Amino acid sequence: MKAVLGLEDGTCVPGEGFGTEGECAGELVFSTQMSGYMEALTDPSYHGQILMFTFPTLGNYGVDRKNFQHPRVWAMGCVAREICDAPEHGPSVADYFAENGLLGIQGVDTRMLTIKTREKGTLRAALVVGDDNGEYAVGCARNIPQISDRDLIPAVSCREPYHLKGSGKRIAVIDLGIKKNMVLSLKARNADIHVFPHDSGSDQVMACRPDALFISNGPGDPVHATGAIRCISDLAGTLPIYGICMGIQVCGLALGGSTYKMKFGHRGSNQPVRYKDGSIYITTQNHGFAVSADSLPEGCRILYSNVNDGSLEGFENEYLDITCVQFHPEAHGGPRDTEIPFFDTMFRRLD
């Protein structure tokens, strides 16, 4: 199929479409991971974005459904240099996209697009599959709102509370678009999990008598997570609070700090972070916003910082019993050297 990717700066990149005919628009972002492509595509944090992979070949081991982070693909579209059409296991990415009405483009210069993104920052883009009208694609890209102007959280959050029974500590979870692996990491520690929609109030959360509050990842600008911010503000100091990815951002906002949009964000499974003792961890990350470290109030201590750009990757407030990280310990980037410290420390403190 014909296909074209149009960017708001006027760039048109024709290629070969895969999946089904149609069009989509969103912020074009890139991930440097070499595997785990279906985990990324099904991550609700990519809602509102077109996901481009920098690794030149995508899909060599097919579609591995058991590692999906959500039952569906949340990325608006997929951009790749080449899609493997004969994977070693399972259906191909192209076949999966076709069967599920998803949009993708291959045969494009992803290196050029990545360099452009690094130089100019993330750009709005439109992907058209079934046509190669670049002028039309550019127009679509320019017509969509900036990601900061879109509240993407309600679409990915659960609509009603639900309970995952366990024999251990009772954990209340605010679902801003939670990944499956976060739930699995909690369940592996026998947690009794009560999951609440993004706009749940503190009274509703406390009704389950939790031992701790956990704030998940999510898409878009964290300032739109007003319910979670308000809930944290109400409960800070009354029970332990933990957060991952957007979880750290809403915790920072709830404490009176500020967040900012990064130039092109951190996405991939090879992001180095430095712990407070100087040790280095290789982490999985997916975020385009970050907490301004200088904005955090007195009592907050920086735990982790990004080796590449110095951005905040984790902080704690011992007085309020808040601990949160920007990277994804549940994603096993090391492969488990950050999951074990984060979750084991969390449950050890609750004992």
Query: pLDDT tens, 140-182?
Result: 999 999 999 999 999 999 999 999 999 999 999 999 999 999 9
Q: What does the alpha-carbon distance between residue 47 and residue 156 come to, in Å, rounded to a whole number? A: 8
Query: pLDDT tens, 58-82?
Result: 999 999 999 999 999 999 999 999 9
Does 276 lie in the same domain as 244?
yes
What local confidence, expressed as pLDDT, does residue 335 receive?
66
The conformational region for residue 38 under phi > 0 = left, psi -120 to 50 = alpha, else beta, is alpha
Q: How many CA atoms lie within 13 A of 337 on its CB side?
A: 15
* Residue 245 bears catalytic tag: yes
- Contact in structure between 61 and 34 (CB atoms under 8 Å): no
Q: For 250, phi and psi rounded to 5 degrees?
A: -70, -30
pLDDT band at residue 337 using 50, 70 and 90 as cut-offs: confident
Q: What does the alpha-carbon distance between residue 255 and residue 322 come to, in Å, rounded to a whole number? A: 10
Q: Is 300 exposed, middle or buried (0-12, 13-18, 19+ CB in 10 A)?
A: buried
Mean pLDDT of 243-269: 97
pLDDT band at residue 90 using 50, 70 and 90 as cut-offs: confident
- Contact in structure between 34 and 268 (CB atoms under 8 Å): no
Please tell me what DSSP assigns to residue 295: G
> Which range has the worst mean pLDDT, 222-226, 260-264, 294-298, 331-335?
331-335
> Which range has the worst mean pLDDT, 15-19, 48-52, 270-274, 312-316?
270-274
Does 166 lie in the same domain as 128?
no
- 3-state class (DSSP) for residue 78: strand
The total number of structural domains in the chain stands at 2
CATH of the domain at 24: 3.50.30.20
Indicate which residue of 78, 140, 231, 245 is catalytic.
245
Does 312 lie in the same domain as 190?
yes
Does 107 lie in the same domain as 162?
no
Q: What does the alpha-carbon distance between residue 36 and residue 45 come to, in Å, rounded to a whole number? A: 15
**What are 105's two structure tokens?**
């483009």
The CA distances from residue 22 to 11, 127, 128, in Å, are: 20, 8, 6
Please tell me what DSSP assigns to residue 146: P
340 pLDDT above the threshold of 90: no
CATH of the domain at 338: 3.40.50.880
Expressed as residue numbers, the domain containing 280 is: 153-350
Does 126 lie in the same domain as 219?
no
Query: pLDDT tens, 97-138?
Result: 999 999 999 999 999 999 999 999 999 999 999 999 999 999
**What are 58's two structure tokens?**
């995508």
Report, in this order, helix, strand and coil percent for the chain, each rounded to 5.
Answer: 30, 35, 40
Indicate which residue of 23, 313, 330, 339 is catalytic.
330
Provide the terminal-to-terminal Cα distance of the chain, rounded to the nearest Å: 57
Does 127 lie in the same domain as 164?
no
Does 127 lie in the same domain as 61?
yes
- Contact in structure between 112 and 142 (CB atoms under 8 Å): no
Does 137 lie in the same domain as 163?
no
What local confidence, expressed as pLDDT, does residue 130 receive?
98
Q: Is 168 exposed, middle or buried (0-12, 13-18, 19+ CB in 10 A)?
A: middle
Does 157 lie in the same domain as 100?
no
The label of the residue with tokens 């332990």 reads: 240
Mean pLDDT of 190-198: 98
Residue that terminates a domain, selected from 144, 178, 208: 144
Share of the chain above pLDDT 90, in %: 95
- Contact in structure between 97 and 62 (CB atoms under 8 Å): no
333 pLDDT above the threshold of 70: no
Please tell me what DSSP assigns to residue 220: S
Mean pLDDT of 305-323: 97
332 pLDDT above the threshold of 90: no
**What are 343's two structure tokens?**
């979750």
- Contact in structure between 294 and 35 (CB atoms under 8 Å): no
pLDDT band at residue 88 using 50, 70 and 90 as cut-offs: confident
**What are 135's two structure tokens?**
């002028």
* Residue 328 bears catalytic tag: yes
Can you give the pTM of this predicted structure? Answer: 0.96
Mean pLDDT of 320-341: 88
pLDDT averaged over every residue in the chain: 96
Residue that terminates a domain, selected from 144, 166, 193: 144
